[in-house]
Structure 1
């Protein structure tokens, strides 16, 4: 894993801290509410309605477009509707409604009209017109069943007409309808309290919920609200977050025109079935009036009074359904707030501390990914992280918890960009320089080790157990004499490239090229417990690949053979050379023996030869045949040498048979049965150079038997 300096880690920590704090700061609260909007839409798409609309504690009686088209309201100004409103109010209250709230304000009465009508003002001629309405209000107010709405606006509030205020007992049964809009003019919360006449009064929604529960809300000294023993969650002090459902039918809605006709027929049973125990809100449902953009703006539906009918049929469906709008009728804000309070499902938002913690966590994880991964993978990882966080937020909202999206998203993306930028500008600059400088001279493993050490290359090394690979082209000098220098270079590059790819593909490190020779190490610089197996596997694949290349035009008609020597053991591995120039290489007697074994192939006519040290480390991964015990120049101790036939399970039958005959001949030879050995070797000598060599030696010893101090060891006369 890439290691970084303390300077780099400190710089990234600063990036994380800045991103986390900035994107959770109050300066960006204008955009923070978008999280709730997005999650509301996603929750709606993923889970649909959380509650059965039929069980909704609050319902709406809508004065809608149908009402304006239905007699006796068609063509009549709304000021003349009060008597009919009073009739429906009485029917709803008599039907057992828990409480009725008015999201409609009638600030004046037709009885107060001063427009001349004949010799008197119109209001004088219509004196008593609102009497039925006022009586209905007064009757409902006596049992605390009605709450009128008002709109607070500095020193000019929009209040019900004086007669209505008197009928309901003044402020006792009047509550504010004002909403709370965020800086982006989206309604996501509703105030719980207002100051009216210097004293705090509950909002319309809080008042209706409290009356439905038969209790009074309590405002604690710390500003929190307690309703029937339950503390209302409040991220913004004095407000409740609105938990909108999606679509348009979460709050049952009934047409005022149908209810007026129902009251006229005297169908009291319908009112009992429909409104018994409910909180009923009278409000308007138009396309242009009293509409608000809320956190439901991405999950709205086509609104309509689709509740059960009593007297009038449903209006004919339009030829083309109207499109859903991003705004909703204001009455649904209060109905949603009442439902949340009575169900105790007011969403809980994280405070400033929680928002900052999530932003810091998102920035930290994003920065970690950007430090450990490449830029492309880091971006994909961050996008995956954000997708998972969004999914978690959707599920959390289903259970009433609002997780921030915008802050953590911006923090994560910015931290990713900042960390990648720091890596490009500072942290990875030295790494890129080293890789560019040494890519053509050192293996990727060596470069990685230099970078992991976090220090420049220096003289020194360590003892490691490795396998050394030496290869050389047979008859290279004679081939080189027949080629021009340019053709020779191109030919050698093709050969060395093919062999190097195999060596490195098997986990080896090419130490150096010496003319046509390749010196490679397995087990360093990267640790490899299977270095011996990988070295033998590389040697077999090099032999196979060379056989293929010999059949192509790539080698310009030259049929090549190469010799490979393998030996395993302890070796000094590291940077070796002078103070001004050195190489990453290996040194030891194990290295020298591998070189001698490569040369020993020419005596036996073999292409691959390995010492018993290497063979012992490969287990049963390969099939071998023992060639001989030899003594190389510079060593007094003999070494057993073996030839790999093939990987285990892939030995051709004829090769296995030849190896068995060879083993029999070698056993006879070492037992001084030279005639028997010569006979055994002779059976395969025609197609097997090592057997031909031993047949000749056995016949010579049979003709002139050696003394008692003879040992079956072949001493090489050259390198």
Structure 2
């Protein structure tokens, strides 16, 4: 693994710190708020509703489109609906509702109209028109079962008409309906308290929840809110984060038109069954009025008053398949915001958020993980890892939201992407510049493993080496000089480059390192510079593949009609591996007697007519990976001790019957030869001499020794006269 400089680690740490802190700044709240919107939609589509709507503690009575189309309300201004509203209010209270809140504000009364009608204003002629409504409000207020809404708006709040305020006992039963929109005009939280007349008053939702539970809300000195024994979580002081379920039916909704008809026919049982113990909110459910974008905007549904009916049938559009084709709006009616808040409070299910410190910690963690990945791998994989990290955070956030915890998503995701881009940029501009220069400069001269070791050491190469167990690979083209004489220099260079490229690709593909080219010869090492416990096996595999590839090349036009043969020598043992040369110029290479023996074995092939020859040391380290035949015991120039030599037949399990028969006949002949049965050896070798050059050599030697028997001290060792 690459060792990074302290400078690089410090730079990346600054990138992580900057990315993590910047995305947690308040200036980016406009972007970060979308996290809750995305997670709400994912949670809804993944898990569905968290609660059974039928068990919702808060329900809505909606003045919907059907209400405006149903007589006697159709065609009448809403100011004239007060008697009907009072009738439904009374029926809901008598039905056992815990509390009723009005998300509708009637700031004026028709009794206050000053429009002339004859000799008197219209209001004077309709004096007492709101009496039934006011009486219903007053009766409900006596038992603390009604809360009117108002909209705080600077010095000119939108408040209920004076008669309504008096009927409910003034501010005691009036609460603010204002919502809290983030910087992007999306409602994700709802205020818990407002300052009215210099003192804090609960919001409409908090007041309704408190009255339903029969406790008084408490604003603690530290700014937190307690509802009985429930301390309401609040990331933004004095607000609650809304836990929208998703879809369109999470809050049971009853059509006002249906309830008015139900009250008119006197079905008290329906009101008791429907509203007993509930917090009830009166509000509008219209296409154009009081609609807001919320964190539910990606998980909305087709709204409608689809709760069980009492007297009127549902509108035809709600009962037909055509309704399923109606567009789904991202906004929802404002009454659902308050109803959701009441449900969250009563269920003790207000969303928890980490707060700015928690968001910063998560963003720093994401940036740190992303930057670490960008340091360890290439840009493409680092980008994929970062995307995977964001996907994991998204999945975690979706599950967490299912359990009431709203984790940040967009901010940490941006931090991770920025940290990845920053780290990759730093690597491209500074950290990897020297590495790229070294790789580009030395790629054609040094093995990739050597360059990697130089970079890992973070220091220039120096003279020196170490003893390593390796397998050395020597190859040479048979009859190269005579072939070269028939070709022009340009053709010879192109021909040699084609041959050397093919053989080098095979050697490196098997894990070898090409040490040098000497004319038409290739010197390669297996087991260095990279450690390879199977270096002997890989070297033999490379030799077999080189032989197979050369046979294919001999049939192509690339070799210009020349039928090549090459000789390969393999030997394993201890060798000095490292940078060897002068102080000004050196080369990464190997040196030892094991290297010299490999060179001698390559040359020994020409005496036996073989293409690959390996020492018994190499054979012993390959296990049962290959099928071998022992060729002879030889004494090479420069060595006193004889060396047993072997030829690889094929990989284990790939030996043909003809190869097996030939090897068996050769083994019989060699055994008789070493037993001084030269006549028998000549016969055994003779059976395959026509197709096997080593057998032909031994048949000739055996016949000569049969004619002229050797001295008693003769040993079955063949001494090579040359290299």
Task: Map residues 412-427 of structure 1 onto 2, 5 A cutoff.
Answer: 412-427=416-431
Task: Map residues 706-717 of structure 1 onto 2, 5 A cutoff.
Answer: 706-717=710-721
Counterparts of 2:356 and 2:307, CA distance in 1: 41
Counterparts of 1:604 and 1:69, CA distance in 2: 109
Counterparts of 1:599 and 1:377, CA distance in 2: 48
Matching residue of 2:67: 67
Matching residue of 2:438: 434
Between stretches 163-172 and 499-508, larger displacement belongs to 163-172
Between stretches 159-168 and 340-349, larger displacement belongs to 159-168
Task: Map residues 656-667 of structure 1 onto 2, 5 A cutoff.
Answer: 656-667=660-671
Counterparts of 2:93 and 2:219, CA distance in 1: 29
Match of 1:652 among 634, 653, 656: 656
Task: Map residues 45-194 of structure 1 onto 2, 5 A cutoff.
Answer: 45-194=45-194
Counterparts of 1:544 and 1:240, CA distance in 2: 76
Cα distance, 1:683 vs structure 2: 2.4
Matching residue of 2:203: 203
Between stretches 321-330 and 501-510, larger displacement belongs to 321-330
Cα distance, 1:116 vs structure 2: 2.8
Matching residue of 1:315: 315
Counterparts of 1:64 and 1:144, CA distance in 2: 27
Matching residue of 1:643: 647
Counterparts of 1:5 and 1:617, CA distance in 2: 40
Match of 2:490 among 477, 482, 486: 486
Match of 1:346 among 350, 363, 366: 350
Matching residue of 2:280: 280
Q: SS in structure 1 opposite 2:647?
A: strand
Counterparts of 1:102 and 1:429, CA distance in 2: 68
Match of 1:584 among 588, 591, 601: 588
Counterparts of 1:648 and 1:74, CA distance in 2: 94
Match of 1:544 among 545, 548, 555: 548
Match of 1:396 among 373, 397, 400: 400
Matching residue of 1:571: 575
Counterparts of 1:706 and 1:76, CA distance in 2: 135
Q: Size of the alignment, in residue pairs?
A: 719
Long gaps (5+) in structure 1: none
Matched, 1:363 2:367: yes
Counterparts of 1:85 and 1:36, CA distance in 2: 37
Counterparts of 2:75 and 2:697, CA distance in 1: 123
Matching residue of 2:387: 383
Counterparts of 2:706 and 2:395, CA distance in 1: 86
Matching residue of 1:405: 409
Cα distance, 1:332 vs structure 2: 0.7
Cα distance, 1:709 vs structure 2: 2.7
Cα distance, 1:322 vs structure 2: 4.4
Q: SS in structure 2 opposite 1:499?
A: helix
Counterparts of 1:676 and 1:65, CA distance in 2: 114
Counterparts of 1:706 and 1:403, CA distance in 2: 93
Matched, 1:600 2:609: no
Counterparts of 1:606 and 1:135, CA distance in 2: 117
Cα distance, 1:87 vs structure 2: 0.6
Matching residue of 1:522: 526
Counterparts of 1:704 and 1:323, CA distance in 2: 109
Counterparts of 1:555 and 1:131, CA distance in 2: 112
The CA deviation string for residues 360-401 of structure 1, in whole angstroms up to 9 with x for no partner, is: 111111111211221112112211221221122112111111
Matching residue of 1:464: 468
Counterparts of 1:66 and 1:650, CA distance in 2: 85
Q: SS in structure 1 opposite 2:690?
A: helix
Counterparts of 2:154 and 2:89, CA distance in 1: 31
Between stretches 696-705 and 429-438, larger displacement belongs to 696-705
Counterparts of 1:373 and 1:77, CA distance in 2: 70
Cα distance, 1:294 vs structure 2: 1.1
Cα distance, 1:36 vs structure 2: 0.6
Matching residue of 2:332: 328
Matched, 1:681 2:685: yes
TM-score when scaled to structure 2? Answer: 0.97
Match of 1:631 among 631, 635, 639: 635
The CA deviation string for residues 101-125 of structure 1, in whole angstroms up to 9 with x for no partner, is: 0111112222222333333332222
Counterparts of 2:177 and 2:304, CA distance in 1: 22
Counterparts of 2:100 and 2:37, CA distance in 1: 30
Cα distance, 1:498 vs structure 2: 1.2
Cα distance, 1:340 vs structure 2: 0.7
Counterparts of 1:695 and 1:315, CA distance in 2: 108
Matched, 1:507 2:511: yes
Counterparts of 1:613 and 1:36, CA distance in 2: 69
Matching residue of 2:295: 295
Counterparts of 1:236 and 1:218, CA distance in 2: 17
Match of 1:611 among 604, 615, 624: 615
Counterparts of 2:712 and 2:93, CA distance in 1: 128
Counterparts of 1:302 and 1:620, CA distance in 2: 73
Counterparts of 1:31 and 1:661, CA distance in 2: 83
Q: SS in structure 2 opposite 1:317?
A: helix
Q: SS in structure 1 opposite 2:282?
A: strand
Counterparts of 2:347 and 2:573, CA distance in 1: 77
Counterparts of 1:449 and 1:461, CA distance in 2: 13
Matching residue of 1:672: 676
Counterparts of 1:223 and 1:670, CA distance in 2: 103
Matching residue of 1:534: 538
Counterparts of 1:316 and 1:606, CA distance in 2: 95
Counterparts of 1:56 and 1:396, CA distance in 2: 22
Counterparts of 2:625 and 2:662, CA distance in 1: 20
Q: SS in structure 2 opposite 1:458?
A: coil
Matching residue of 2:696: 692
Counterparts of 2:682 and 2:248, CA distance in 1: 101
Counterparts of 1:315 and 1:604, CA distance in 2: 101
